[in-house]
Structure 1
């Protein structure tokens, strides 16, 4: 009788949603499986397992990546953001808020991939047009909607982010004035 082959576990150190993590994983463990099964972050969904649908999209150092196509070990020393890291229990992130306001989801299975993709897109494109928003989400599939409310969500998220930036600028300006007046 042959002994069962056990796969070697590799040490993995990475940051997930702002928290340093240390774990062990087999060399061939996919990042999507590592996040879902090892770290219990089940917001990252696995749809096609071929990198086509985008449901498993996470941010790796701020860039959208298909976690079903990456081995977990390739995330070594990188910063991973999952849908759970886009907001908090008490406060949704801007893209999450926009999806809620604009009814940008139906069954919700594809939503985590859209949220992470759009979050990254808006960092580099703060004022998208409708056509640009459509192009930005073109790599993510939704089988429930006609995408119109998702496009509206992208545009609304851009507005929300602009409002937040304006509030921060106003607070900074008020703080600067108060410091000058108090000096």
Structure 2
């Protein structure tokens, strides 16, 4: 058994050590907000926070995570995540929505570290989070807007 804290709740996962975290979250814990996109850590759809750092859960194996803290889109409820969600809606960022959980996790993580990001900060933080609908301009604007929301 692998012991993790997922979204603030202690959990035990009965999976092979080589099981990607993505599948443990979705199949064992029923947390389906984290999406499968490419399976090779290139698209960002499966991004979650591992001990506060964004990682691609499709290439993060549960056997390496005993005692770790994982936050999925379902558990991302802090001020940064709430500001991102509000800005996403205001600026109509989502289209198909498939990439959104990974985008939101990455954007909120950026705002926690860099409350007033530049365009270059945003581009660097969001690199590797692909959007099939190409809403990158709106994503950047929404991150700036979320920064304003957090400022009050």
Q: Relative contact order: is structure 1 or structure 2 higher (C-alpha 8 Å, sep ≥ 6)?
A: 2
Query: Which residue among 104, 123, 129 is the counterpart of 1:140?
Result: 129
Give the greater-gyration-radius structure (CA). Answer: 1
1:129 is displaced (CA, Å) by 1.9
CA distance in 2, matches of 1:96, 1:15: 24
Query: Which residue among 65, 72, 85 is the counterpart of 2:75?
Result: 85
Partner in structure 2 of residue 54 of structure 1: 44
CA distance in 1, matches of 2:101, 2:125: 15
CA distance in 2, matches of 1:14, 1:42: 17
2:107 counterpart of 1:114: no
Query: Which residue among 54, 64, 73 is the counterpart of 2:63?
Result: 73
**Count of residue correspondences:** 150
CA distance in 1, matches of 2:47, 2:33: 10
TM-score, normalised via structure 2 length: 0.92
Unmatched 5+ stretches in structure 1 = 1-10, 164-183
Partner in structure 1 of residue 27 of structure 2: 37
3-state SS of 2:130 partner: coil
2:145 counterpart of 1:156: yes
Instruction: Report if the CA contact (8 A) 1:106-1:145 is conserved.
Output: no
2:14 counterpart of 1:24: yes
CA distance in 2, matches of 1:102, 1:130: 17
1:25 is displaced (CA, Å) by 1.1
Unmatched 5+ stretches in structure 2 = none
Instruction: Report if the CA contact (8 A) 2:5-2:70 is conserved.
Output: yes
The root-mean-square deviation of aligned C-alpha atoms, in Å, is 1.5
